[in-house]
């Protein structure tokens, strides 16, 4: 997955509407039913309170068009609150939700009548939040869950480790997850914080990281994006839940992340580092309308802090492209030996996001045995690092060779392998190397496997089903069918490469 720049529309820092100076926009959300956006100012100006503004755009997601901004309706004042950071439409159609970075962080629901109610935040979050660095982002999942992110770490947590809170559809706090933000050396600005989060589905989120330096003048360097942003994709399905922990360890288990957008990436630098288009202090992020190519769009908004130095408010559209892109690689020199085993002939690999480890296996080492390694591949998912292989454990699969595919057991009980040996089979081992179960292909199938071309691949689906595949087709079946005195020969009846579903409960 990656995000591609499409277009942008701007508002001058001095722009006013119905007595409100529109700026300081820290959050944005889109309603597909009405093709309408809402955005909120974090703090008002000229005696005005923070407010919600409604927008519609023409041409924002058209790369060839000149976008136009249409502000609609009357601004909705948010009286009695300050430092509003994120805004989302209520998924049930009843108003909207905002988060704040007030002296103590809060979450408010404003119904259609403008009546506000406060969602409970744990005391250790309220008391441990750092001034103006607390509840920054929020997003609703399709199942009604509500995720809220901290901009920076709590005072009792190690530097760089922010929390993402999860409330269920009944607004009960059910989860807290740890996210580690980029450090100054990797962003060219101050240490990053989480500016916004955005749900893609019930477990996958986009995280908008931003470093901010208020003293950078947008016009000081015409060839560089100011206060750059990075967007990462994360998966919380197997992330460690630290709910109730008022302080984290010095090195807590953080969710893994994959970079999908970098405002300083050379592929878009020609657009986003020009004087007219350079990015400055993006804080809001929402899904936008579907694009003509069938892709989903994303819209970003900047917070100009009502500051002439930052010059404008930007609305930027991006295209979500599902793709496989090269990031990095790690090479193991030929003949490298670890724990008495030469690493090579690797035929299978699998990843466990809960532990951040990989299983790899050799089909056979020089001694003829299949070896399984549990490893960490530090830095492999970053294009800016030299990856490192760390081996946690080594197992020898006694009695088996030609191991071809390996998968972690979906229930956390060891791993599964397929083999191309005769008889081709499927084997379930625990993490001590003990064989727990085994399955063999039917004899009619095994007898027709061509040499070393049997069970080569395997994978588990989300519902627990297990699929295996043959590397090549089975040998041809030659049949002689006699009807009365006439002989009909059906030769070369072939079974081509196919997938075999295995019922592990049988």
151-162 average pLDDT score: 91
pLDDT of residue 337: 82
pLDDT of residue 478: 52
Q: How far is CA 248 from the centre of its chain?
A: 23
pLDDT of residue 54: 96
Single out the residue of 236, 304, 249, 314 nearest to residue 278, CA to CA. Answer: 314
Would the pLDDT of 177 be above 60?
Answer: yes
How far, in Å, are 38, 42, 402 from residue 31 at the CA level? Answer: 8, 21, 54
Give dist(CA 409, CA 392) in Å, integer. 18
Token look-up 């003829």 returns 368
Give dist(CA 36, CA 39) in Å, integer. 10
pLDDT of residue 483: 42
| Per-residue DSSP letter, 474 | P
- Virtual torsion, Cα 152, 155, 156, 159, nearest 10 deg: 50
The answer to whether 162 and 188 have CB atoms below 8 angstroms apart is no
pLDDT of residue 354: 84
235-243 average pLDDT score: 91
**Band of pLDDT at residue 485, cut at 50, 70 and 90:** very low
Give dist(CA 31, CA 492) in Å, integer. 59
Token look-up 């191309």 returns 420
DSSP helix/strand/coil, 238 = coil
**Band of pLDDT at residue 56, cut at 50, 70 and 90:** very high
pLDDT of residue 495: 35
List domains and CATH numbers for the chain.
2-321 (2.115.10), 337-502 (no CATH)
Give dist(CA 155, CA 70) in Å, integer. 42
pLDDT of residue 332: 85
What's the mean pLDDT when you consider all of the chain?
83
Higher pLDDT, 135 or 404: 135
98-116 average pLDDT score: 88
Give dist(CA 345, CA 8) in Å, integer. 50
Q: What are phi and psi of 52, to 5 degrees?
A: -100, 130
493, burial (CB in 10 Å: exposed 0-12, middle 13-18, buried 19+): exposed
Give dist(CA 466, CA 426) in Å, integer. 10
Give dist(CA 417, CA 359) in Å, integer. 11
For the ranges 216-220, 288-292, 463-467, the one whose mean pLDDT is highest: 288-292
pLDDT of residue 216: 59
Would the pLDDT of 309 be above 90?
Answer: no
Higher pLDDT, 136 or 221: 136
pLDDT of residue 45: 81
pLDDT digit string (tens) for 80-91? 888 899 999 999
413-430 average pLDDT score: 82
The answer to whether 97 and 108 have CB atoms below 8 angstroms apart is yes
Would the pLDDT of 95 be above 60?
Answer: yes
pLDDT of residue 242: 95
Residues in the chain: 506
pLDDT of residue 270: 57
Would the pLDDT of 226 be above 70?
Answer: no
Q: Is the dihedral of CA 496, 499, 504, 506 positive or negative?
A: negative
Would the pLDDT of 305 be above 80?
Answer: yes
**If you write DSSP's letter for every residue of 386-427 in order, what string do you get?**
--EEEEEEEEEETT---EEEEEE-TTSS-EEEEE-SSS-EEE
Element holding 184 (H helix, E strand): helix 184-187
List the single range of 183-197, 351-365, 376-390 with lowest mean pLDDT.
183-197
Name every residue whose Cβ is closer than 8 Å to that of residue 358 and which is 6 or more positions away in sequence. Answer: 349, 350, 351, 352, 374, 375, 376, 377
142, burial (CB in 10 Å: exposed 0-12, middle 13-18, buried 19+): exposed
pLDDT of residue 186: 52
With a threshold of 0.75, does the pTM exceed it? no
4-22 average pLDDT score: 90
Which two structure tokens, joined as six digits, stand for 141?
Answer: 């999942």
Would the pLDDT of 417 be above 90?
Answer: no
Give dist(CA 98, CA 164) in Å, integer. 16
384, burial (CB in 10 Å: exposed 0-12, middle 13-18, buried 19+): exposed
């Amino acid at each position: 997955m990656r995000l591609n720049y499409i277009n942008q529309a701007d508002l001058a820092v001095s722009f006013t509407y119905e007595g409100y100076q529109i700026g300081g926009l820290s959050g944005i959300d889109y309603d597909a039913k009405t093709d309408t956006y809402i955005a909120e100012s974090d703090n008002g100006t000229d005696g005005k309170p923070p407010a919600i503004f409604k927008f519609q755009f023409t041409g924002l997601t058209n790369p060839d068009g000149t976008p136009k901004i249409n502000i609609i309706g009357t601004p909705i004042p948010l009286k009695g609150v300050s430092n509003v950071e994120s805004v989302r439409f209520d998924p049930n159609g009843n108003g909207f939700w905002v988060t704040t970075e007030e002296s103590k962080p809060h979450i408010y629901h404003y119904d259609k009548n403008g009546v506000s109610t406060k969602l409970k935040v744990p005391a250790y979050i309220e008391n441990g939040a750092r001034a103006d660095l607390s509840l920054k982002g929020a997003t609703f999942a399709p199942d009604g869950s509500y995720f809220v992110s901290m901009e920076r770490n709590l005072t009792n947590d190690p530097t760089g480790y922010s929390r993402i809170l999860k409330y269920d559809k009944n607004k009960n706090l059910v989860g807290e997850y740890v996210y580690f933000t980029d450090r100054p050396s990797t962003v060219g600005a101050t240490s990053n914080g989480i500016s916004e989060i955005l749900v893609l589905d019930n477990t996958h989120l986009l995280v908008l990281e931003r470093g901010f330096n208020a003293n950078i003048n947008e016009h000081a360097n015409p060839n560089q994006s100011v206060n750059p942003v990075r967007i990462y994709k994360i998966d919380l399905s197997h992330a460690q839940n630290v709910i109730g922990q008022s302080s984290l360890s010095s090195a807590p288990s953080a969710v893994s992340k994959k970079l999908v957008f970098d405002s300083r990436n050379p592929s878009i630098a020609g657009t986003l580092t020009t004087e007219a288009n350079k990015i400055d202090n993006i804080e809001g992020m929402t899904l936008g309308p579907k694009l003509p190519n069938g892709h989903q769009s994303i819209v970003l908004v900047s917070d100009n802090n009502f500051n002439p130095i930052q010059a404008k408010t930007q609305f930027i559209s991006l295209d979500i492209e599902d793709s496989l892109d090269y990031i990095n690689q790690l090479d193991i020199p030929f003949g490298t030996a670890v724990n008495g085993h030469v690493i090579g002939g690797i035929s299978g690999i699998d990843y466990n996001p809960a532990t951040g480890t990989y299983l790899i296996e050799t089909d056979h080492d020089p001694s003829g045995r299949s070896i399984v390694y549990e490893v960490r591949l530090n830095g492999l998912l970053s294009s800016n690092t030299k990856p490192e292989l760390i081996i946690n454990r080594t197992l020898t699969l006694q009695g088996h060779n030609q191991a071809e595919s390996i998968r972690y057991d979906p229930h956390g009980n060891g791993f599964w392998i397929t083999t191309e040996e005769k008889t081709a089979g499927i084997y379930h081992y625990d993490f001590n190397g003990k064989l727990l179960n085994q399955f063999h292909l039917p004899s009619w199938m095994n007898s027709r496997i061509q040499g070393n071309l049997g069970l080569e691949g395997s994978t588990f689906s989300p519902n627990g089903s297990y699929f295996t595949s043959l590397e090549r087709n089975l040998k041809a079946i030659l049949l002689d069918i006699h009807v009365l005195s006439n002989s009909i020969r059906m030769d070369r009846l072939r079974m081509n490469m196919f997938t075999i579903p295995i019922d592990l409960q049988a």
